[in-house]
Structure 1
Amino acid sequence: MQKLQLWERYKNRLYHNAELDLSVDTSRMNFPDSYLEEMEPRLQKAFEEMADLEAGAIANPDEQRMVGHYWLRAPQLAPTAELAEEIKATLASVKAFASSVHQGNIAAPDGHRFENLLVVGIGGSALGPQFIADSLGSAQDRMKVFFFDNTDPDGMDKVLAEIGSGLKRTLTVVISKSGGTKETRNGMLEARQAFEQAGLHFAAHAVAVTGSDSELDRTASQEGWLGTLPMWDWVGGRTSVTSAVGLLPAALQGIDIDRLLAGARICDQATRSRSTRDNPAALLALSWFHATAGKGERDMVLLPYKDRLLLFSRYLQQLIMESLGKELDRDGKKVLQGITVYGNKGSTDQHAYVQQLREGVPNFFVTFIEVLKDREGASMLVEPGATSGDYLSGFFQGTRSALYEKDRESVTITIREISPASIGALIALYERAVGLYASLINVNAYHQPGVEAGKKAAGTVLKLQGEILEMLRRQPERDFTCADMAMTLARPEEVETVFIILRHLAANPSHGVSVTAGEKVWENRFSAGK
């Protein structure tokens, strides 16, 4: 297509929201002009379902739960006055708690203000807060933020080493809806031990964000933690960033959470439009449907041309892949749906995988995110007439053109600057796009049976590990190959799992398991305490 023709298509397809200064450009998606009209009946059905969801319909039938993350930034839309008041009260509590910490009214036991913030969570309880912290943080933050976002001991040791002697002035926020998520539970216990080893009382440094009467809620109450804020069962982890899950860490960091919520709220209003051309989330969902044939046939590559958006692809991986990656549709038909998401940042990717994107297997579509404002204040000229930011813009435009020349499709989202409002808008935009796309492909975006299956499988492995350790301690004079152990436990079919468990146990001193090398690695012999 000639450049002037592309310009005309750009003008015809460009969505722009003046209030948010946000644009969505679908001109580099090669769907025909008739596509929107052809998809209109399905999209109107999706709008109806989204309206029902916002009105309080049961959207997660597995657990008989409503899905109400939209109410978090517009409490008046909640289906009951009681829910609306809870949302307002929680926001007020978040602000009050953060203010008390900043003013030193809630302080470290030594009387000094808390200077560091350790957030313990996983999945949606970490990815959202991490994205906000990284995208909006600065040297002027009220508190320096650290994360335990896995159950990796070495990773936690690394974080604790970075905090160092600052642990005595570190506030810990533990986030878990159920209170029983093992990774978060482990992170809390590791944090507790670090505080105790430093001669500090953990409860005097801890606050919880959790469900009412959860295991974590009871622990915080019994031990006298500094506070507890609610997580509701109608807010899923991957859409919880505008609840206390994301708002408390952000407020403590010093981020303007009112502006974050305002940006999300304005975008929510825009994405409620029943006019497809005036709804940016609908335009995204339709672009995804076109690019993937409605079957996940292509991957989504996210290329934000801004360092502060580096973690956006990780955040969207959970939001999109956990919501859309489903074996069955809502009618019980096997569909194997989903969209694979990956990305890093521009222009770094031009020195990484753009070569393949342009000339390799065409199994993807790209989402570019353009940020118009380079930095606060003026930039130096790196050569006559050009700044570093001009180069970044040039690389974005060049990559977009180079890909389109090779029939690689892309969507471009443009925002004026990185701010709490624009980050809130991006979050809301993708939350709605995911919901609409899920309706188009007839899957339930609000449950995650695969995640629960993985947790159950992990529990089975740990139960087997307990049986192995018990057998080793019962027969300390004997050494076992993995095959010996599997047979002794009457679990011959689990020999591979037994081998993996034994090898891990022997590599770590915690359980006192030793190993004697065999001729082949699977012939190694394991024993207790030799």
Structure 2
Amino acid sequence: MEELVIITSWARFKEYLYYDQEMELLLDISRMDFSTEFLMEMNEPMRDVYHQIQLMEKGAVANPDEGRMVGHYWLRNPDLAPSAEIAQDIKGTLREILGFVEQIHEGRIQGENGEPFRNLLLVGVGGSILGPRFVADALASPRDKMKAFFIDNGDPDGIDRVLGQIGEELKATLCIIISKSGGTVETRNGMLEVRKAYEDIGLSFPGHAVAITQRGSRLDKLSQREGWLRTFPMWDWVGGRTSLLSAVGLLSLALQGIDIGELLQGARDCDQRTRRPDILANPGALLALMWYYSTQGQGGKQMVVLPYKDRLELFTKYLQQLIMESLGKEKNLKGETVHQGMTVYGNKGSSDQHSYLQQLLEGPDNFFVTFIEVLKDRQAFSAYMEDNSTSGEYLQAFLLGTREALTQKGRESLTITVKEVNAYTIGVLIALFERAVSIYALLVGINAYHQPAVEMGKKAAGQAIQLKNNIVQFLKSHPGKKFSVPELALAIQEEEHQEMLFKLLLHLTINTEHGVNMEPGHPWSESRFFVDGPIS
């Protein structure tokens, strides 16, 4: 118990509290049980980190596996870019975005049948849509100029649900297709589904479509060939998970009516603070060092993110990709096997006090909590509930109570506090975590900017599609004949993939497009599959 008193002392809180009045940001790391010596010991490795960050921002290759620069910091401060060409490209794209948005809002660009655009439909996957969706939800208001919808998974039923919500308003909906390579399967399928929906109501898809993609990509060529409304660039020096402040996020957010200038300003201001070589004056360094302390530089720890604000509910999803895709690596830059990574999960406070707080308090101590506190409760005046307290005061009490309970159980936490949720503070939070990711990756010597395992999954998915096609082709070439899984596997020379064959066949029998049927077996795995033969 004596140790807990030290951890929660007022003196320790004051010593390690980061406060920036202009950004209205507080970072409290005092309830992480690091020692004073830890920060002193990290001064030397952090000197090299600061140097590496300077090189990265000047255009050095920071993604050696793909031979690429890493330039998402230039997006909010183009003058930092290593060449005038890149700086002008960023500035020019922003001007084009603002000009296009003005034309849409003023009705100078309309749908094919003369309807002004009232809705947005974003089609993408992963980083190209998680960020825009998070910010769109966080900053949504009744004053929005356009309503945003999202297709982000390739689930046919999910696509139907979104299109059903749009309904007859599809004719007044601007569709934004986001794919850096132009060949991402989930995005391609979403685009084709949406294209069909426009065609089904007698409208031309290109007359309602905008592309955001890398110049020269398949999507870029398609949009130019078909005469889409506009195409905006993505650059090879910006990864999907750090692309929010490029056209990927700025276009749709500006169309929604969000002040993207404030969003960029918040990120730019936070970037400036996170370049400081003084650890205690650098919130990005403090955050990354808490991750390093908690994981001992080895990875494997869990970070529970608890934003006590409904508007930040999707922030955890956004952070999952930013952190886990960046830091989850098998090998370090020396080629050594390290299995780095930090699992991120969470929902929102105080919902979690009624879900997994029980395990956080009494289960395995394999995590730390990141609380995100928003001081402003609402725009209007709050009435008292009970105990002379507003609902917002109760919500803060739940946060403080949860944090206190964790400390009493010897569980660590840190707290990020902002005054309110607006475009500026969202920009600050995005930049804060982006920088923490960069710093942690440099400390442990990994490449945070590639994702080879994701490509493995895509390759395996392609093999599954080919296997499905082989099954269908074989069954259709033997109409009326029934086959077990082992018989099919032998016939198409896929004996090592019998389990996958069975899973594919089950899906084929439930979805009737290919005409595959099943004769149930006992046990189920002994079922037989066939395509009906000609009726005699």
TM-score by length of 2: 0.97
Residue identity matched to 2:353 = Q
**Aligned mate of 1:356, from 355, 359, 376:** 359
Alignment check: 8 A CA contact 2:7 2:30 kept: no
Question: Structure 1's 350 and 5: CA in aligned 2 closer, same or farther, altered over 3 A?
Answer: closer
For 2:123 and 2:336, how far apart are their aligned partners in 1?
38
1:6-155 equivalences under 5 Å are: 6-155=9-158
1:346-385 equivalences under 5 Å are: 346-385=349-388
Range with greater deviation from structure 2 (301-310 or 45-54): 45-54
Corresponding residue for 1:180?
A: 183
Residue identity matched to 1:500 = K
Corresponding residue for 1:325?
A: 328
For 1:413 and 1:43, how far apart are their aligned partners in 2?
22
Secondary structure in 1 matching 2:116: coil
Offset, 1:2: 3.0
Question: Structure 1's 37 and 265: CA in aligned 2 closer, same or farther, altered over 3 A?
Answer: same
Partner deviation per Cα, 1:230-285 (whole Å, 9 max, x = no partner): 00010000000000001011011110000000000000000010111110010001
1:202-351 equivalences under 5 Å are: 202-351=205-354
Alignment check: 8 A CA contact 2:110 2:117 kept: yes
Corresponding residue for 1:405?
A: 408
**Aligned mate of 1:387, from 387, 390, 408:** 390
For 1:122 and 1:297, how far apart are their aligned partners in 2?
26
Secondary structure in 2 matching 1:515: strand
The aligned length equals 530
Partner deviation per Cα, 1:181-221 (whole Å, 9 max, x = no partner): 00000000000011111111111110000010111111111
Residue identity matched to 1:416 = K
Corresponding residue for 1:487?
A: 490
Alignment check: 8 A CA contact 2:482 2:528 kept: yes
Secondary structure in 2 matching 1:382: coil
Partner deviation per Cα, 1:496-521 (whole Å, 9 max, x = no partner): 11111111111101211111111121
Offset, 1:47: 1.2
Question: Structure 1's 244 and 5: CA in aligned 2 closer, same or farther, altered over 3 A?
Answer: closer
For 1:492 and 1:220, how far apart are their aligned partners in 2?
42
Secondary structure in 2 matching 1:16: strand
Offset, 1:112: 2.4
For 2:397 and 2:103, how far apart are their aligned partners in 1?
46
Partner deviation per Cα, 1:342-400 (whole Å, 9 max, x = no partner): 01000111111111111111111000000000011211111252111000111111111
Residue identity matched to 2:421 = I
The unaligned stretches of length 5 or more in structure 2 are none
Alignment check: 8 A CA contact 2:17 2:26 kept: yes
For 1:192 and 1:391, how far apart are their aligned partners in 2?
48
Corresponding residue for 1:459?
A: 462
Secondary structure in 2 matching 1:34: helix
For 1:357 and 1:529, how far apart are their aligned partners in 2?
55
Offset, 1:3: 7.8
Corresponding residue for 2:506?
A: 503
For 2:67 and 2:5, how far apart are their aligned partners in 1?
53
Residue 427 of structure 2 corresponds to residue 424 of structure 1: yes
Offset, 1:477: 2.6
Residue identity matched to 2:518 = V
Question: Structure 1's 480 and 286: CA in aligned 2 closer, same or farther, altered over 3 A?
Answer: same
Residue identity matched to 1:101 = I
Partner deviation per Cα, 1:123-175 (whole Å, 9 max, x = no partner): 00110011111111112111111100011101101101111111111110000
For 2:532 and 2:377, how far apart are their aligned partners in 1?
60
Offset, 1:110: 2.4
Alignment check: 8 A CA contact 2:125 2:153 kept: yes
Range with greater deviation from structure 2 (337-346 or 508-517): 508-517
Residue identity matched to 1:265 = R
For 1:348 and 1:3, how far apart are their aligned partners in 2?
30
Residue identity matched to 1:309 = L
Partner deviation per Cα, 1:374-427 (whole Å, 9 max, x = no partner): 011211111252111000111111111110111110110000000000000100
For 1:5 and 1:210, how far apart are their aligned partners in 2?
49
Offset, 1:5: 6.0
Offset, 1:464: 1.1
For 2:200 and 2:32, how far apart are their aligned partners in 1?
57
Secondary structure in 1 matching 2:9: helix
For 1:203 and 1:346, how far apart are their aligned partners in 2?
43
Corresponding residue for 2:472?
A: 469
For 2:272 and 2:498, how far apart are their aligned partners in 1?
56
Question: Structure 1's 219 and 447: CA in aligned 2 closer, same or farther, altered over 3 A?
Answer: same
Secondary structure in 2 matching 1:411: strand
- Once superposed, what is the RMSD of the aligned Cα atoms? 1.1
For 1:479 and 1:250, how far apart are their aligned partners in 2?
54
Residue identity matched to 1:520 = P
Partner deviation per Cα, 1:10-56 (whole Å, 9 max, x = no partner): 00000011111001110000001111111111111111111111110
Secondary structure in 2 matching 1:345: coil
Corresponding residue for 2:521?
A: 518
Partner deviation per Cα, 1:64-83 (whole Å, 9 max, x = no partner): 11110000000000000000
**Aligned mate of 2:481, from 478, 482, 494:** 478
For 2:384 and 2:109, how far apart are their aligned partners in 1?
47
TM-score by length of 1: 0.99
Partner deviation per Cα, 1:455-490 (whole Å, 9 max, x = no partner): 111111111111111111111131211111100011
Offset, 1:293: 1.6
Residue identity matched to 1:215 = R
**Aligned mate of 2:438, from 435, 438, 443:** 435
Partner deviation per Cα, 1:423-469 (whole Å, 9 max, x = no partner): 00100000000000011111110111111111111111111111111
